[in-house]
Chain A
Amino acid sequence: MKKILLIIQREYLTRVRKRSFIVMTILGPILMASAFVIPMYIATLTDEEKKVIEVLDETGWFFEKFSDTDEFEFKYTVADLETAKFELMENDEFALLYIPRRELTVPSSAVLYSLRQPGVDLKGYIRNVMSKEVETQKLRINLDEMDLTEEDRERAMKLPDLIRTSITLSTMKMDESGEEEETFTEIMMAVAFVSGMIIYMFIFIFGAQVLRGVMEEKTSRIIEVMVSSVRPFQLMMGKIVGIAMVGLTQFLLWIILTFAIVSVFQVSFADQMPGPDVRMAVTQSAEVSNETAVAGNTQIARVFEVINSINYTVILISFLFFFLGGYLLYAALFAAIGSAVDSETDTQQFMMPVTIPLFLGFIVANMAVYNPDGQLALWFSMIPFTSPIVMMARIPFGVPIEQIWISGALLILGFIFTTWLAARIYRTGILMYGKKVSYRELWKWIRYRG
């Protein structure tokens, strides 16, 4: 045990101290942060022309409630839905907000028709205004029924903060022919895609490091020196675990640095940019400004608000679990390949069966982002070889907990199996030189005893 710790320590320290690791650690967050910061910056540069949003409000609750901002102008229409949609296309306006009448209940949903993808900030703003309004109205109705003094009533009117209402806002993207297509929440998709992508990348990058590390030990005959003091299995596991820790370190540093960079920009942008809602907060009455300011803030803050609404703990824990599980499963196979071959060129024939499931997982994950509960996504998120990537692409949309458990358990079984298999190939392969190894040969090694 002490030896395996020593090996882990060596594998970890030699890699973390490498210049390439430090460069990647700094470069990664800059790239990731720029993915956040650049859109923010561009948002501050939007053209003067306002985007028109038609509001078709069948409930009549929200007339004149949406205030124009720097970017958006709200127009109220009374036409029927079909006409309004037609006009939207005809006049090349930005979007149509349709709030259908509810006969018995208060309004709780709305549809945003748009020719282009509406931004999260717009949707956040609409949702925010609507829920405030519904809350206020609900309260007013209830208060009317009570017999209150004017003073009590005014105090009671501040209660909406306590009785939050949630509004479902679905968006319909329309194409030129007038076809409608429901769009998913972009941020969910982004999170799903990015987590699947990162797992895919990490398995490849760090799996390749395991492969190269094992090959280095074999071809430069370090193994000969090592093998008299440690068992091959210790050496293999020490390397795999050590490199896993390098991966986790890099990942954690990326997250911390990305957030640091983004928040620095967030603060500096917030100072420079009188965001639409900040302005609004000033112009509106005290009561409203108080409420909008809480939820509104700047555009950037709204992006973060949506990001924050995702269940982070679940994503983070599953990310760590599926990253580790997937990495361990593949790293063992990479180690086995590294031990079986004499040179880089010989790796080709064995790489195929390892990279194909990995790549397949990546492709299915791309589809899963559009259909996270489909049969394809479901099955591929259960098979251990593809589950780390595909499951990660599903989780942000919400996956039944028992599915996560089953997939996790299968993944654990999967990596126990590949590690067992790899250990058997490794202990023979690592000391075998000058022999062109075939799959038949590998099978023989697996079956050797002792």
Chain B
Amino acid sequence: MAIFLTENVTKRYAGHTALDRVSIEVPEHSIFGLLGPNGAGKTSLIRIINRITGPDEGSLFFKGEKLQQKHIYNIGYLPEERGLYRKMKVGEHAVYLARLKGLSKSDATHKLKVWFDKFDLGDWWNRKVEELSKGMQQKVQFIVTVIHEPELLIFDEPFSGFDPINVELLKKEILRLRDNGTTIIFSTHNMASVEELCDHIALIDRSKKILDGKMKDIKKQYRSDTYSIVFDHFDGLISSFLDERFEIVDEGEDEDRRYASVRITGDLSSKDLLKKLVPKINIYAFNEILPTMNDIFISVVKDNEGK
């Protein structure tokens, strides 16, 4: 079931269309990657989801209801560019933001203290925001985004400004939130983290949605029938026993093994490739090479440009 959906959302600014009939469907309890090159319209869409601006056309639904102001208590948003009042005390600031999300003062204080301890910020409660490092500020912002336990979280580049240790900490928290039933819309340019975290994705380019679906399905859809083979040293080339229907993408060797990637064309399968190889060489490993999100992103966006 989709917790959030947009239907033909269109947004025009003077002179250009930021979103052109974009429909996405965010399944419940999933991590939904919202991808796209710079200026594609991701931020416009996120702002519409947060009701910061309204769409010119199209409608949005939250849990089956038309999106309304009351729903913003059920949505948490971590913007890409984010700041805090520098002169305020950290704890006070966090409580303020939590109260704006509808928490009571005591409730907010109590919950925040737990999160602050979890993120090693406990000692900073009474310090000023300007004394925090950038990473610590980002942590505080992450905490205040999730503090009111919304059902839908929107993270726009959540890992920027974090060191690898804290990226891991954050990933763990995001996955934990998902496992506890929160749905997460995750917008980033970091394809490795998309690969690691997302269940579903949608790709927006030049104000249109050009691709969406389950990540597994998309990967399958963009498979290129390429296999990597690791085998023993032998004299000669593997191309010598493969005909032109098998395209050698890459071939090489290291100290004790040789390896190659082979793309199968036509209606042949991996079976046919193996049949050709097994009699000739000792195979140690045979894997399908699935495209990375990075590859898919680049090829899809390039294709779209050509249109």
Specify whether A and B are partners.
yes
In the complex, A229→B70 CA distance in Å? 10
Instruction: Out of B79, B80, B87, name the residue touching A14 (CB < 8 Å).
Output: B87
Known: A224-B81, A224-B83. A229 touches B101 (CB 8 A): yes
Chain A residues within an 8 Å CB radius of B50: 227-228
Task: Write the nearest CB–CB distance from A237 to chain B, whole angstroms.
Answer: 14
Assess the B96–A10 pair: CB atoms within 8 A: yes
CB of B52 within 8 A of chain A? yes
CB of A406 within 8 A of chain B? no
Chain B contact residues: helix, strand, loop or mixed: loop
In the complex, A226→B50 CA distance in Å? 11
By CB atoms of chain A within 10 A, which of B72, B85, B141 has the most?
A: B85
CB of B159 within 8 A of chain A? no
CB of B1 within 8 A of chain A? no
Question: How many B residues have CB within 8 A of the partner chain?
Answer: 29
Cβ contacts B139-178/A at 8 Å (1 or 0 each) = 0010010000000000000000000000000000000000
Known: A224-B79, A228-B77. A14 touches B97 (CB 8 A): no
Instruction: Out of A3, A7, A221, A444, name the residue touching B81 (CB < 8 Å).
Output: A221
Number of A-B contacts defined by CB within 8 Å: 59
Assess the A225–B141 pair: CB atoms within 8 A: yes
Known: A221-B81, A224-B83. A450 touches B54 (CB 8 A): yes
CB of A305 within 8 A of chain B? no
From 67 to 121 in chain A, residues with beta carbon under 8 angstroms from any chain B beta carbon are none
Chain B residues within an 8 Å CB radius of A222: 82-85
Assess the B85–A3 pair: CB atoms within 8 A: no
In the complex, A329→B101 CA distance in Å? 30
- A3: nearest residue on chain B (CB-CB)? B100
Assess the A221–B97 pair: CB atoms within 8 A: no
Chain A residues within an 8 Å CB radius of B237: none
Known: A14-B88, A431-B52. A220 touches B100 (CB 8 A): no
CB of A264 within 8 A of chain B? no
In the complex, A431→B54 CA distance in Å? 14
Assess the A224–B82 pair: CB atoms within 8 A: yes
Chain A residues within an 8 Å CB radius of B85: 14, 216, 220, 222
- B13: nearest residue on chain A (CB-CB)? A448
Assess the A229–B81 pair: CB atoms within 8 A: no
Chain B residues within an 8 Å CB radius of A444: 14
CB of B263 within 8 A of chain A? no
Assess the B88–A228 pair: CB atoms within 8 A: no
Assess the A229–B83 pair: CB atoms within 8 A: no
Instruction: Out of A6, A7, A221, A450, name the residue touching B79 (CB < 8 Å).
Output: A221
Chain A residues within an 8 Å CB radius of B82: 221-222, 224-225
CB of B47 within 8 A of chain A? yes
Assess the A6–B99 pair: CB atoms within 8 A: yes
- A441: nearest residue on chain B (CB-CB)? B14
Task: Write the nearest CB–CB distance from B89 to chain A, whole angstroms.
Answer: 10
A-B contact pairs, 14 of them (CB 8 A): A3-B100, A6-B99, A14-B88, A220-B83, A222-B85, A225-B82, A225-B144, A226-B100, A227-B52, A228-B76, A431-B52, A431-B53, A450-B54, A450-B56
